[in-house]
Chains A and B, each alone.
Chain A
Amino acid sequence: MKNKSTNILTVVDVSYEINDITINKGINFNINLGEIVSIIGPNGSGKTTLLRLISGDIVPSYGNIEFREKDLNNYDPKEISTMRAVLPQNSHISFPFTVNEIIQMGRFPHPENYKSDKTIVDDLIKTFDLNDFLGRDFTSLSGGEKQRVQLARVFAQIWSEDSYNGKLLVLDEPTSFLDIKHQLDFFEIINDFKNNGLTIIMVLHDINHASSFSDKIGMMKKTELIYFGDTRDVINSQNLNDVFDINLKLINIDSNGRKLIYL
């Protein structure tokens, strides 16, 4: 199973402090091309800060992060924006832009091409089940609808004709407002993109989602990444009890050793 794969992201001894408060401490991991990686952990364990570090939004106090074998700090914002897209936890827009306009904004880093941009936007509107909201004012949408529009926007940013090899998507709680149908749709969509080479790292709250749909899982507790590895190795009751301080029962779902939480 373990073929020789190339790293897309390498995080080495990364710590982040602000005003003498440590938010991330001694974090090490790497992600291979085409993997789906989920980060789970209790509130305030530093998951979002870790994503912001990976996204280059903030700079590590110690350690370094390499994206495609080059230090993240050495990227020009414009250069990196065609290779990685980021969906923050909650975005707020004050002006009544239409759904199409918001998705179209994802094409900003690319040279303007009216025809191909329109094809991409139309394609993503279908993918994210947004047909009913064409031309609708974004501010009038529900939380889940807004989240789907924002997802379509970040996919527009890294949209590619052929392969997604070397492209990275960073998503902070991408399913938090979605209903169960759209949650499952979402995991199907990212799996399709993964099969075309896209690498995804995201923060999830639902352990069963993480366990069912990711190749690797990282578990954070109190600023540190205490477990990181293949999903079937990391998800076990001992680790979950360590991280979340609760007793969870797990049931096996398939012969590959994947497990789900039984509530």
Chain B
Amino acid sequence: MSKKYEKNTIIFLIGLFLLAIISLVSTTIGPVKISILQIIDILFESININTNLSSSEISQAFKTVVIDIRLPRILMGIIVGIALGISGAILQGLFRNPLIDPGFIGVSSGAAIGAMFVIMFSQLIAIENNFYIQFLLPVFAMSGGLSTTILVYKMSQMSGKTNIMAMLLSGIAVNAFSGSIIGFLVYRASDMELRSFTFWTLGSLDNSNWLIVSIAVVAILIPIIISINLRKKLDIFMLGDAEAGYLGLNIEKLKKRIIFISALMVGVTVAFCGMIGFIGLVTPHLVRLIMGPSHKTLIFGSAILGAIILILADFISRIIIAPAQLPIGIITSALGAPFFLWLIVSQKQKIRYEK
């Protein structure tokens, strides 16, 4: 047991190290080539430490590129990866089903309605482009996502208890209904609006800046802390509703918390970065394969791995058709789906999920 504990600590440290390396390398990539040493110099200079590892004078333009453009983008990628990884892990726990994706609680489809509404409405009353992307779209996407989640949650209440099966079904129904609303809006949309909306659904870290990063950090910090605190309770919850109740766990409180913190986390990512698929589904799987199913390792592991995968995907999206960049959602799905299939086929014995 203590040996296992040590092994897990080493895996976490390796994960964090990998994340740091990938983030650093990813920061060097872009239209302006900046070396890793220069980046380290710039980063240390920003906290008033003079390292001068690159032994060269670094121009102000380089500093601006790193500090104001690339750094917020990388940080936003890490935040989004953590949020999607953790919400995938705790929602798969809530449904006791490894095939659950954060989309099942309706948050993404609700956010899409909100986003589409803003895109069409702002064209109609000609709001200045930048303003609505920076402010209105995230607010509407977030409100849309939370409203649909509340709707799904309310429909799953049966005599004071949350029926998980009913929740799964109402999630599917709400998603289908949202799909028809989006379909109607898409039908009415102009080519321009349609293009903006399509790009939004493919996800992107392009709009990242320090303001957005700060808002996102504040919004997901508490959900992350709550999730980590739920790790032991989630393991008990895996025994079944009645069994967990007999062990003294307040299961209704647990369910409610999981639903709302994951809606908040996914809501924030969708609001600022659009839809980024497959991370929430694939990440917990990989962590379970490496470290086992216990939420004591799953939640923290999914946070680190989610961030690594997202930063990698962003890295690829920026180099694959450079100097242009591909929307990140295309990369996560294009890599995530075949990888997921390979995983299922090659690890059949090891996965062995029952149901």
Contact = CB atoms under 8 A, between A and B. Distances in A.
Which of A79, A95, A102, A153 is the most central at the interface, judged by chain B CB atoms within 10 Å of its CB? Answer: A95
Main secondary structure of the interface of A (DSSP, over half): mixed
B294 A55 contact: no
Interface string A91-108: 111111110011001101
Contacts of A77: 245, 248-250
Interface string B1-14: 11000000000000
A143 B293 CA distance: 21
Interface in A107-139: 108-109, 114, 118, 137, 139
A84 B247 CA distance: 9
Contacts of B294: 97, 101
Contact of A109 (B238, B248, B353): B248
B63 interface: no
B57 interface: no
B45 interface: no
Contacts of B293: 95-97
A79 B355 CA distance: 33
B18 interface: no
Contact of B238 (A52, A95, A137): A95
A92 B243 CA distance: 10
B243 A94 contact: no
B232 A108 contact: yes
A225 interface: no
B248 A97 contact: no
Nearest to B289: A96
A94 B247 contact: no
B64 interface: no
B97 interface: yes
Interface residues of A, number: 34
Interface in A67-89: 77-82, 84-86, 88
B236 A88 contact: no
Contact of A57 (B245, B288, B355): B245
Contacts of B239: 91, 93, 102, 105, 153
A69 B30 CA distance: 73
Interface in A138-192: 139-140, 153, 157
A91 B288 contact: no
Interface in A32-90: 52, 55, 57, 77-82, 84-86, 88
B242 A57 contact: yes
Contact of A105 (B245, B247, B288): B247
Closest 5 CB pairs of A and B: A81-B248, A95-B293, A78-B248, A86-B246, A109-B248
